[in-house]
Structure 1
Amino acid sequence: MSTGTKLEAVLSEITDGNIWPFVCPLEIEPDMWITYFPEKEQPVDYGDGVSQEWMLSWQVHWFAKGTQDYMNIRKDIRSALEEAGFSVTSILYSFEQDTKIMHLVFFSSSQSV
């Protein structure tokens, strides 16, 4: 299973399937959605001069219209990522005044062979 597929599998229930790579493709966004994309890949283990394992860093963005209980959503997303084997390294919060959209950014990573 690819890492993107894994992210979609563990997070789609939180947003009723509204999860996409990079951007929401809908003309009118749903009330809540998630986008994700790879941020960085770097080798973490070498053998015989060849990379054996890679660390994949991801950004997962949660968006919601209006005011939502973002503290519980934050915990749900963080727990789902950790249970799926991702390390969550930080979470950023913002509220976009002009659009009235809440926005959380989860920085996470996972290892792959």
Structure 2
Amino acid sequence: MFIQSVPNYFFHGERKVACGDAERKALDKFKRGLADPSGRLSSWVGDDCCRWEGVSCNNRTGHVVELNLRSPSSDSLDGDGTTQTLSGKIDPSLIVLKDLNYLDLSKIDFGGYQIPSFTGSL
């Protein structure tokens, strides 16, 4: 799944503020709904979610503006050639990310779960 509504040029550069508590909690809840056999989300620790892999924030506000969890093909295989991608479901907690304008969940195995209707509101 890939959603982009606004160019991401405005959040590059030096970041001055950390992400908000509500956004960090929402992302943490989303992470708990995923299986991560390759440890791809191992950087998702600490209070500043803007430093987490796949998360980008607005430099001025600290709000999460990009969530890019697309599994790169080189990271999708383990030593024996089996696929090691994220899997699980999309938690409704993502609705808290009001400033999100880029969402890429490509290659995540949702295992038959339906894409929730709230994603149209992101």
Instruction: Give the structure-2-normalised TM-score.
Output: 0.30
Q: Which has the higher strand share?
A: 1
For CA contacts below 8 A with separation 6 or more, give which structure has more relative contact order.
Answer: 2
Q: Which of the pair has more CA radius of gyration?
A: 1
